[in-house]
């Protein structure tokens, strides 16, 4: 009432601004749509043209959103229509017509002849939008147009019966989620069941405000406007009957119409808030809307999250929803840092409630960490370490002290170890050591105190060698500002002829790394100034592998610096992405796959940098093409103006001469020359970028080939065989087939200390050498981790994999490939339906 009174007073002066603001508010504060609907309804009583304009603009916006595939706008505008209908601004029959148009389009998409079932995600989205709007207007539709409304519900039931069930196993946070059975409802089926429960309960929803009921006597006097029929874009017809093309289309549809939420049930039912299924859905939607529209304003986001207009508490549901977004596969909607900041601000906004909820969530996720997807596990480690850094690293570590007694490869132990390592990156060693003083047992899990391990360190007690002498000479040359050419000549003349190229690389790389060891900036400066020396010494992959060994040896006490140095060297093209992949899959690193994130971090950086280059090049080429078109138009215009000026002549003393001023002709000529030069320059830049893109795409193809080949080789060596009956081994169940005795002992041994991963003073263990075979649990965990990362790369780079799927199928996945490898490699390429993946 207060707001309406203000709007009435300002109406004459600010009608246009009010119009825009009301539409913007409904668009960007959708959880308050019922209130904005009532405001427009009250204005409708005084000024029908204003509300008619709102309805017409909403129709234009919805039509535009449908054809531009703006998912969020379609969903919210349908909710807004329901809000307007509740306030007597829109006719209920118009809403029914809109729903039926969407249902008709959805059914057409699924038709084999007139549509394209590969685009079922779009059809599902249309039906989801209808279902999602029913809590906001279902009761009014049921009261005012019951027969027509029943027809819509029957249409939805018919659609549900003909659509294909989606199986999201490859996108599940937990590998052994109870929902992995074929009978589990997918998101649309689950939402339809919630709406059916709502229907049986008389369409009563606690979580949706009903402000229109307080003004019903007034609103009923208003004129309801007709919402014009909408037209949905025609279905995308498949260009080929090829299974690969269908799979690519399905992947494209999944990308354009992704599932908005995959519920993450963290808390037991006796802890989480007790609410009706549809109320849970409505609050989840409101939380996701706030996260969407305030993704650049963390404090405002937290403010709106804690003040949703619902009559019950929802802290546990809010935590589950935010964590579900943070851990959403294949990618969260926003950068993980955003969710970190929101959780921090929520802890500050609700100091008495939310911190304890977050603690409970962390403990619940930690308890299930062994079943968590590897990508989600990495995200959780990064989030948790960053979160603790904002709260003085305070955590009840003594509750997790028992992990020290677990095997070094146990997921919970690795999780704590990686969190502590990441905390040190965000602080310093002594601070983190102090933070775990209540759990001194965990000090064993701390990484070594960071510091260089310089092989040629000057020490009076150490014997001086050729390496020490040459390293000192190189340091003197660097301090003396010698050029790269001088240093390269010195290496060629003084080191390589006497000691060989490998020794030269050893001395030069160790010394330059030591010079750049003070900070990141020092390292980057050294690589910029003296990178050519390293490049000269590493002309092939063999030498590049040795260079990475040197980096790893120098920074053996700092995982972070190894990753940064290798990443920077790849940036300066001192290392190739192929060499990095080969180094990560070298035996020493393969043995670390299940006990450390170090090799995976380096591999992730290399692969993402490769594809980021391609993404950037495509963006630059797109910009250059637009620039070239503009440059051509400008050049043609300048040339035309010059020709027109030259064509105007007059007769002087019986002779035709240009009538234009010579000065203007010179200016036009200069402008035409400059425009033509700009066109040529832009065209040359475009050609250069396209050549770089072609090279980059070829590099990415080789990278993909090598990456999958490496995964297949190491997994084939270690995975347990399929049984004689053809049963695939269950790695998580401690399958009796998982043992190392049936394999080549050289291929299945690792350097391990003792059961707990601690040092063993004796060189013998029970009379056997320390180099022993994997026990069942360790081999099983290694396989699970490696398969998990293979699946992660498959999901992350699905688009690129689809581009080269034929090559991979013909060159890598040939012969008797283990089904677990094939499943991990391909299951993340698109969501399989009940009939199975196209692959």
Strand runs labelled E in 574-668: 649-652, 655-658
Rounded to a whole number of angstroms, the distance between the first and last alpha carbons of the chain is: 59
> What phi and psi, each to the nearest 5 degrees, are found at residue 480?
-85, 10
Report residue 689 CA to chain centroid gap.
Answer: 27
CA dihedral 417, 420, 426, 430 (to 10 degrees): -130
pLDDT band of 211, cuts 50, 70, 90: very high
- 556: DSSP letter: T
pLDDT at residue 514 greater than cutoff 90: yes
3-state secondary structure of 835: coil
How confident is the model over 407-428, as pLDDT tens digits?
Answer: 999 999 999 999 999 999 999 9
How confident is the model over 295-331, as pLDDT tens digits?
Answer: 989 999 999 999 999 999 999 999 999 999 999 998 9
The token duo for 383 is 């989030």
Q: Helices (H) and strands (E) in the chain — how many of each?
A: 33, 6
Please state the rounded mean pLDDT for residues 215-236: 91
Please state the rounded mean pLDDT for residues 339-363: 95
pLDDT band of 197, cuts 50, 70, 90: very high
State the pTM of this model: 0.87
pLDDT at residue 396 greater than cutoff 90: yes
How confident is the model over 490-507, as pLDDT tens digits?
Answer: 999 988 998 899 999 999
Task: Identify the pLDDT of residue 351.
Answer: 94
How confident is the model over 627-650, as pLDDT tens digits?
Answer: 999 988 888 888 888 887 777 766
Residues 26, 36: contact at Cβ < 8 Å?
yes
- The chain-wide mean pLDDT, for the chain, equals 87
- The full DSSP string for 456-478 is T---TTSPP-HHHHHHHHHHHHH
How confident is the model over 553-564, as pLDDT tens digits?
Answer: 999 999 999 999
How many whole angstroms separate alpha carbon 38 and alpha carbon 138? 17
Judged on CB neighbours under 10 Å (0-12, 13-18, 19+), 551 is buried
Choice between 766 and 309, residue whose per-residue pLDDT is larger: 309
Please state the rounded mean pLDDT for residues 515-533: 92
Choice between 829 and 794, residue whose per-residue pLDDT is larger: 794
pLDDT at residue 244 greater than cutoff 90: no
pLDDT at residue 215 greater than cutoff 80: yes
Using the Cα atoms of residue 391, residue 394, residue 396 and residue 400 in order, give the sign of their dihedral.
Answer: positive
Task: Identify the pLDDT of residue 649.
Answer: 64
pLDDT band of 179, cuts 50, 70, 90: very low
Q: At what angle do helices 466-479 and 501-515 cross, to 10 degrees?
A: 50
Pairing of β 649-652 and β 655-658: antiparallel
Please state the rounded mean pLDDT for residues 20-28: 91
Using the Cα atoms of residue 717, residue 720, residue 724 and residue 729 in order, give the sign of their dihedral.
Answer: negative
CATH topology of domain 466-610: 1.25.40
pLDDT at residue 73 greater than cutoff 80: yes
How confident is the model over 568-626, as pLDDT tens digits?
Answer: 999 999 999 999 999 999 999 999 999 999 999 999 999 999 999 999 999 999 999 99
Q: What is the CATH architecture assignment of 1-219+246-255?
A: Alpha Horseshoe (1.25)
The token duo for 441 is 């047992």
Please state the rounded mean pLDDT for residues 806-811: 84
Integer angstrom CA distances of residue 787 from 373, 374, 745, 821, 827: 10, 9, 21, 7, 11
How confident is the model over 645-689, as pLDDT tens digits?
Answer: 777 766 666 666 666 677 777 888 888 888 888 889 999 999 999
3-state secondary structure of 802: helix
Where helices occur in 69-176 by DSSP H, the ranges are 71-86, 92-110, 120-144, 146-162
Buried b (16+ CB within 10 A) or exposed e, 470-493: bbebbbebbeeeeeeeebbebbee
Q: Compute the radius of gyration of the chain from its Cα atoms.
A: 33
Task: Identify the pLDDT of residue 237.
Answer: 81
The token duo for 696 is 């980059």
Residues 371, 174: contact at Cβ < 8 Å?
yes
pLDDT band of 806, cuts 50, 70, 90: confident
Please state the rounded mean pLDDT for residues 76-91: 95
How confident is the model over 246-294, as pLDDT tens digits?
Answer: 888 888 888 899 989 988 889 988 777 888 999 999 999 999 999 999 9
How confident is the model over 810-828, as pLDDT tens digits?
Answer: 888 777 888 899 888 887 7
H or E segment and range at residue 696: helix 662-718
Task: Identify the pLDDT of residue 487.
Answer: 92
Task: Identify the pLDDT of residue 306.
Answer: 95
Task: Identify the pLDDT of residue 274.
Answer: 84
How many whole angstroms separate alpha carbon 571 and alpha carbon 408? 34
Task: Identify the pLDDT of residue 286.
Answer: 96
Task: Identify the pLDDT of residue 659.
Answer: 65
269-445: CATH, from 1.25.40.180, 3.30.565.10, 1.20.1560.10, 1.20.120.10:
1.25.40.180
Place of tokens 């035409």: 672
The token duo for 64 is 């535009």
pLDDT band of 464, cuts 50, 70, 90: confident
Find the range with the poorest average confidence among 455-459, 496-500, 594-598, 784-788: 455-459
Residues 344, 387: contact at Cβ < 8 Å?
yes
Task: Identify the pLDDT of residue 318.
Answer: 96
pLDDT at residue 693 greater than cutoff 70: yes
pLDDT at residue 449 greater than cutoff 80: yes
Give the contacts of 726 (CB within 8 A, at least 6 positions apart).
none
Find the range with the poorest average confidence among 764-768, 811-815, 830-834: 764-768
Task: Identify the pLDDT of residue 742.
Answer: 34
Task: Identify the pLDDT of residue 756.
Answer: 36
Asked if residue 330 has a cis previous peptide bond (ω within 30° of 0), the answer is: yes
How confident is the model over 116-174, as pLDDT tens digits?
Answer: 888 999 999 999 999 999 999 999 999 999 999 999 999 999 999 999 888 777 788 98
């Amino acid at each position: 009432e207060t707001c309406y009174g203000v709007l009435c007073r300002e109406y004459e002066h600010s009608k246009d601004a009010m119009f825009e603001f009301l539409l913007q508010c409904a668009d960007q504060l959708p959880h308050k749509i019922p209130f904005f609907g009532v405001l427009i309804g009250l204005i409708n009583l005084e000024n029908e043209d204003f509300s008619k304009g709102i309805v017409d603009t909403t129709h234009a916006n919805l039509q535009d959103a449908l054809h531009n595939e703006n998912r969020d706008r379609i969903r919210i505008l349908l909710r807004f229509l329901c809000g307007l209908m509740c306030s007597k601004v829109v006719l209920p029959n118009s809403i029914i017509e809109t729903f039926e148009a969407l249902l008709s389009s959805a059914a057409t998409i699924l038709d084999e002849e007139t549509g394209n079932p590969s685009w079922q995600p779009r059809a599902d989205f249309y039906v989801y939008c209808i279902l999602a709007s029913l809590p906001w207007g279902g009761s009014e539709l049921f009261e005012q147009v019951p027969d027509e409304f029943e027809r819509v519900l029957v249409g939805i039931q018919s659609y549900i019966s003909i659509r294909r069930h989606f199986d999201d196993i490859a996108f599940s946070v937990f590998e052994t989620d109870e929902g992995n059975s074929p009978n589990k409802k997918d998101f649309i089926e689950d939402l339809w069941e919630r709406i059916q429960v709502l229907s049986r309960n008389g369409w009563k929803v606690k979580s949706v405000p009903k402000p229109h009921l307080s003004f019903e006597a007034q609103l009923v006097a208003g004129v309801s406007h007709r919402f014009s029929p909408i037209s949905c874009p025609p279905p995308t017809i498949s260009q080929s009957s090829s299974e690969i093309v269908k799979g690519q289309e399905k992947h494209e549809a999944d990308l354009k119409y992704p599932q908005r939420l995959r519920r993450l049930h963290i808390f037991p039912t006796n802890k989480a808030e007790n609410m009706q299924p549809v109320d849970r859905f409505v609050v989840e939607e409101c939380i996701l809307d706030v996260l969407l529209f305030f993704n650049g304003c963390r404090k405002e986001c937290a403010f709106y999250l804690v003040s949703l207009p619902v009559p019950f508490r929802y802290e546990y549901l809010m935590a589950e929803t935010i964590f579900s977004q943070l851990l959403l596969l294949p990618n969260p909607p926003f950068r993980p840092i955003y969710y970190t900041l929101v959780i921090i601000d929520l802890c500050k906004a609700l100091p008495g409630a939310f911190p304890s909820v977050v603690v409970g969530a962390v403990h619940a996720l930690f308890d299930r960490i062994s079943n968590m997807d590897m990508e989600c596990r990495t995200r959780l480690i990064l989030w948790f370490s960053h979160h603790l850094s904002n709260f003085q690293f305070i955590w009840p570590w003594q509750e997790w002290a028992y992990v020290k007694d677990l095997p070094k490869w146990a997921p919970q132990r690795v999780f704590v170890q990686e969190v502590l390592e990441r905390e040190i990156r965000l602080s310093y060693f002594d601070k983190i050591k102090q933070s775990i003083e209540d759990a001194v047992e965990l000090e064993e899990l701390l990484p070594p105190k960071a510091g260089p391990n310089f092989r040629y360190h000057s020490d009076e007690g150490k014997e001086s060698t050729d390496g020490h002498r040459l390293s000192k000479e190189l340091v003197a040359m660097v301090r003396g500002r010698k050029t790269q050419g001088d240093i390269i000549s010195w290496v060629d003349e003084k080191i390589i002829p006497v000691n060989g190229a490998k020794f030269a690389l050893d001395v030069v790389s160790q010394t330059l790394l030591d010079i750049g060891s003070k900070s990141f900036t020092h390292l980057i400066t050294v690589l910029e100034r003296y990178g050519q020396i390293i490049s000269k010494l590493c002309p092939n992959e063999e030498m590049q592998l040795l260079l990475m060994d040197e980096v790893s040896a120098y920074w053996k006490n700092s995982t972070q610096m190894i990753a940064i140095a290798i990443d920077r060297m790849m940036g300066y093209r001192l290392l190739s992405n192929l060499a990095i992949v080969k180094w990560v899959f070298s035996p020493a690193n393969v043995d670390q796959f299940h006990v450390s994130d170090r090799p995976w971090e380096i591999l992730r950086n290399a692969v993402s940098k490769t594809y980021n280059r391609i993404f950037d090049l495509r963006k630059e080429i797109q910009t250059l093409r637009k620039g070239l078109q503009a440059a051509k138009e400008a050049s043609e215009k300048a040339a035309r103006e010059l020709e027109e000026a030259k064509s105007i002549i007059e007769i002087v003393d019986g002779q035709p001469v240009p009538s234009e001023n010579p000065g203007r002709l010179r200016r036009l000529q200069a402008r035409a020359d400059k425009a033509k030069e700009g066109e040529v320059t832009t065209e040359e830049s475009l050609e250069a970028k396209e050549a770089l893109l072609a090279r980059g795409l070829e590099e990415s193809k080789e990278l993909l080939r090598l990456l999958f080949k490496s995964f297949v080789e190491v997994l084939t060596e270690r995975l347990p065989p399929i049984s004689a009956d053809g049963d695939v081994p269950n790695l998580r169940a401690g399958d009796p087939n998982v043992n190392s005795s049936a394999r080549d002992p050289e291929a299945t041994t690792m350097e391990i200390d003792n059961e707990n991963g601690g040092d063993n003073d004796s060189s013998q263990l029970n009379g056997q050498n320390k180099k022993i075979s994997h026990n069942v649990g360790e081999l099983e965990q290694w396989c699970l981790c490696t398969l998990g990362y293979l699946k992660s790369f498959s999901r992350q780079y699905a688009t690129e994999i689809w581009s080269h799927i034929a090559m991979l199928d013909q060159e890598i996945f040939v012969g008797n490939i283990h089904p677990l490898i094939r499943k991990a490699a391909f299951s993340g390429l698109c969501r399989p339906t009940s009939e199975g993946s196209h692959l």
